[in-house]
Structure 1
Amino acid sequence: MVSGGETAVEKARHDADAAFVRRDPVAAELLLRNAIKQTHAADALRAWLAEALFFQGDRDGARKVLAEGGFTPDSAGLGLRVKGQVALADGDLGGAGAAFDQALRIVPDDPDLWVAIASLRFTGGEQEQAIEASEKAVVLDPKNPRALALRGLLIREQYGLAASLPWFEAALKNHPDDPPLLDAYASTLGDLGQYRAMLIVCRKLAEVDPKNPRPFLLQAVLAARAGQTNLARSILQRTGTTYRDMPAAMLLSGVLEYQAGNYDSSVGVLERLVRIQPDNRTARHVLARALGAKGDWRRLVDLFDGDVAAGRGDADMAALVGKAWLHLGQPGRGRPILAQALARKGSQVAVPLAADGELSVLASRYGDDPAHAANAVPYIRALMAAHHLDEAQDIADRLRDDNDGNAEVNLLAGDVRMMRGDAAGALLDYTNAAAIRFNEAVLVRMDAALRSAGRKSDADAMTSRFLGQNPSSVTAMTLLAASWAEDPARASDLAALRKAMLARGQDIPL
């Protein structure tokens, strides 16, 4: 029964919104379809029905509903936002941007729209613009759970784990049962090493959202960090195929299978991950270990000899490749690499991975569309590998200037400068990247640039600050260990650092 002054369409909208709050999009869909049959007001309810289908993961159904007709003036903003969200989920960034632009002209102060815009910008590599959009969403609605969750995640990327906690905690005060907020909070607690608190939040997440597999994934990570490999594998298996193609879950699975001695399984999942993410250094490192453990020396050198020859990877990677050449009966190739590994002492050098393709082919692709980063980045890398550094710098700088809100293009411009011996210039590019997204990739480069510029104390201070925000960062620990190993006055600090790394299944080559 419709309340006084409320039309059947308005009631259907309100009831659908209430179902969304209850996380029951199926109920929303049913009541909306019944309302459309009764009122014949499809255009007035189309946006809500598409949103219900989208929330269920039915993008095809949402697209079909959106294509069946138009919107009423008071529903067009929502309809266009949902249209953009469907396009974004499909990977159609241009379509998403066009829909969001149209929606923005109708509902410029809709916080949910600004959250969607922030997600689009982040996905498209416009990280600085994503931060601005997320800030706009929070200003428009300081209690909006989606806005607060996204702002916390971007703060985490920009400043570190510890800095993001207050955002999640403030949001959960207003929305204690919100699954995405609980998920983000739990994963951040785990990365900070606050495992007991993480487990409590995981249990809460499982309680409020019983069908959500994320608590199992997070608990598998927790068990793995505690060295309980079999338990972690058992928990991860309970997620089924949900995370089969999720890089973080693939890496976890590969590591667990390696630790369990299932080297064939480990190699299988890690090779697939490396094909998806060729720049994932951790995946490449564990894959090399798994290949070595199963004695597949030929595959190991085929995949990683080029990395070592170009100075990519760490001392452990070099040692594995050197050992592989010895097993293949080529000591002349293996022994120099082993000597190189011993000389590295755990230092990490950031060297971009080589481009996949011939220089002439990549040059042609770049010439066809030089503004497209997918063409420019491989070409820059190929130029760097060929030591055509002046041309690489020109192209990298143009790409950076055209995409000044993207951390990765700032890093690439800095990488070329480092190869040219311009540590001071590289440091400027790396600092610009850090202002947008200060992660381990930025840390390694800034550390190297500072040390190359003779600023060892500044490098130690910066890396220590990063470790304070990200206390589980093995990368930061390794960088500090390499520095402190050269300073007898830091012997006690080095011992404490080594103890912390051993607790994480790592060791410092000394």
Structure 2
Amino acid sequence: MRPASLGKLLEDSDAALVRGDLADAGRTLDTARSLAPENPDLWLAIARLRLRGGEHLTALEAADRALALGPDHGPALLLRALMVRDAHGFAEARRWFEAAVEADPQNPDIRAEYAAALGDAGEAQAMLAAVRELADLAPEDPRVFYLQAVLAERGGRDTLARSLLARSGMATRGVPAALLLDALIDLRQGNAESAAATLDGLAGRQPGNTRVRELLAHALLAGGHPDAVIARFGEDAGRPEASPYLVMLVARAHEKIGDRAAAAPLLAKAYGALRTAPAVLAPRSGLPLPSMEARQALIANDFAGARSRAEALRARLPASADVASLTGDVLLGTGDVRAALGAYARASEARRPWPLTRKLVWAHTRMGDDVTAGSLLAEHAAGEPETASALIALARRQAERRDWRSAALLLDHAVALGAGHDPALLASRLRAARALRDATAASRFAALLAEARPHPLAAP
């Protein structure tokens, strides 16, 4: 039985987390641990604190301890579901979500997270059913209206999506996911200025979010601000890690101001062959200082300095997946692929976003383990079917194996997700259509590629 004072201590710890006072939260949980060391709520709170503090790997241990003490503890099952999803995708996490729902069917947090995860996995009908269950349980929960807005926006019902999002109040409160949805609706309704303002704020809060940055560039260009696109993203477009889509947007911005000479090499880069090796990410405003310093040293070819900084970080924060991933970047930059693979594998124990999967795939391929590389890529595409870049990478692999039908299906799905402006994708889909002798599709994608390609690139 939980001691009477434990609940108050856990509430105080949560309040400290909300304030961002992790030290105070830790001290409070230390006190709670002295009172009830075998309480699953305590270990769940410890797991959340460790996650917030970047100790991803020890957070896994705390979550497992909570489940060992309370196998049917719904919130602990939910946290484990979210962790498994982040590391292995929704297919692996589904059973954890379902176990959480079964263990605590009256918990609206579990219902809401499960519904959102279903949507991210592309299961619209299952998401709709889950949202309805949440609405029956907690009809005034703001997430009911937000999740309904997500479904409406994905179904092209923008007016309804706007109304539901406003009713949720989540965008007004500054919830990032709601702000992104608000911007997407604005873009589709032609309100590029409003979308750009929203996305600009989001990009400041999430400097590493590639999707937000690309959408911001798109919104600025659509709003008639090519100079802003060039000023904001011109340097990024010249970096090796820049996506073909961002490069194309910057090229079009140069065209808008009549600078074809600047546009030409960017368009050549956008339409050219896709990179096979992952680039080391450049420093960017807003990233943590230690990460910035390590990347700056690497770009300056100061391999010893970059490695020493990464190793110092790893010694200080051995349980951080972010630090493990950064260490892998540094090791990859120095050419030590085997050691980089070990660092990336450690980071992926806690979470494996697409950029990390891409590096793992490349490293395994470089080490001659093509089977593991292919399995990782297929698993990621299956677990995150809404990630267009993963679908495109898997399509490329299928095309290399002459499985043109699979490649075409994957690319068509990526187009449906909104990646149809990517010139490299269009060129790949055109090749697949020709290989399949599908004249109708070949004609369509040839026309789309011609439409995307600007007229004369040479300077007059």
Scaled by the length of structure 2, the TM-score of the pair is 0.86
- Seen in structure 2, the aligned counterparts of structure 1 residues 182 and 227 have a Cα distance that, compared at 3 Å, is same
- Seen in structure 2, the aligned counterparts of structure 1 residues 349 and 300 have a Cα distance that, compared at 3 Å, is farther
Q: Distance in 2 between matches of 1:304 and 1:230?
A: 31
Deviation at 1:248, TM superposition (A): 1.6
**How big is each residue's C-alpha offset from its partner over 1:4-62, in whole Å with a ceiling of 9 and x where there is no partner?**
xxxxxxxxxx9xx9xxxxxxxxxxxxxxxxxxxxxxxxxxxxxxxxxxxxxxxxxxxxx
Letter in 2 for 1:125: G
Letter in 2 for 1:171: A
Deviation at 1:242, TM superposition (A): 5.2
- Seen in structure 2, the aligned counterparts of structure 1 residues 464 and 281 have a Cα distance that, compared at 3 Å, is same
Aligned twin of 2:32: 103
- Seen in structure 2, the aligned counterparts of structure 1 residues 233 and 283 have a Cα distance that, compared at 3 Å, is same
Aligned twin of 2:72: 143
Deviation at 1:486, TM superposition (A): 3.9
Deviation at 1:343, TM superposition (A): 0.7
Q: Distance in 1 between matches of 2:215 and 2:280?
A: 18
Map 1:109-508 → 2, pairs under 5 A: 109-241=38-170, 244-345=173-274, 349-356=278-285, 374-453=288-367, 455-487=369-401, 489-507=402-420, 508=425
Deviation at 1:423, TM superposition (A): 2.8
Deviation at 1:454, TM superposition (A): 5.5
Count of matched residue pairs: 423
- Seen in structure 2, the aligned counterparts of structure 1 residues 455 and 331 have a Cα distance that, compared at 3 Å, is farther
Q: Superposition RMSD on alpha carbons, in Å?
A: 2.4
Does the CA contact (< 8 Å) of 1:484 and 1:491 recur in 2? yes
Deviation at 1:408, TM superposition (A): 1.2
Q: Distance in 2 between matches of 1:156 and 1:505?
A: 23
Deviation at 1:171, TM superposition (A): 2.5
**How big is each residue's C-alpha offset from its partner over 1:310-368, in whole Å with a ceiling of 9 and x where there is no partner?**
223211111111222233333332211111111144879454242339xxxxxxxxxxx
Does the CA contact (< 8 Å) of 2:153 and 2:161 recur in 1? yes
Does the CA contact (< 8 Å) of 1:291 and 1:300 recur in 2? yes
**How big is each residue's C-alpha offset from its partner over 1:444-499, in whole Å with a ceiling of 9 and x where there is no partner?**
22233334456555433320022223333323102112333444x12111111122
| SS of match in other structure, 1:504 | helix
Deviation at 1:185, TM superposition (A): 1.2
**How big is each residue's C-alpha offset from its partner over 1:413-463, in whole Å with a ceiling of 9 and x where there is no partner?**
111222223333322211111122122231122233334456555433320
Q: Distance in 1 between matches of 2:35 and 2:244?
A: 57
Q: Distance in 2 between matches of 1:484 and 1:254?
A: 34
Does the CA contact (< 8 Å) of 2:282 and 2:296 recur in 1? no
Letter in 2 for 1:163: E
Q: Distance in 2 between matches of 1:219 and 1:346?
A: 38
| 2:17 equivalent among 88, 97, 101 | 88
Does the CA contact (< 8 Å) of 1:152 and 1:165 recur in 2? yes
Q: Distance in 2 between matches of 1:425 and 1:308?
A: 29
Q: Highest Rg: 1 or 2?
A: 1
Q: Distance in 2 between matches of 1:343 and 1:460?
A: 24
- Seen in structure 2, the aligned counterparts of structure 1 residues 288 and 346 have a Cα distance that, compared at 3 Å, is farther
Unaligned runs of 5+ in 2: 428-460
Scaled by the length of structure 1, the TM-score of the pair is 0.78
Unaligned runs of 5+ in 1: 1-13, 18-73, 358-372
Does the CA contact (< 8 Å) of 2:381 and 2:394 recur in 1? no
Q: Distance in 2 between matches of 1:440 and 1:203?
A: 30
Map 1:6-85 → 2, pairs under 5 A: 75-85=4-14
Deviation at 1:180, TM superposition (A): 0.8
Q: Percent identity?
A: 33
Which fold has the larger relative contact order, with Cα–Cα distance below 8 Å and residues 6 or more apart in sequence? Answer: 2
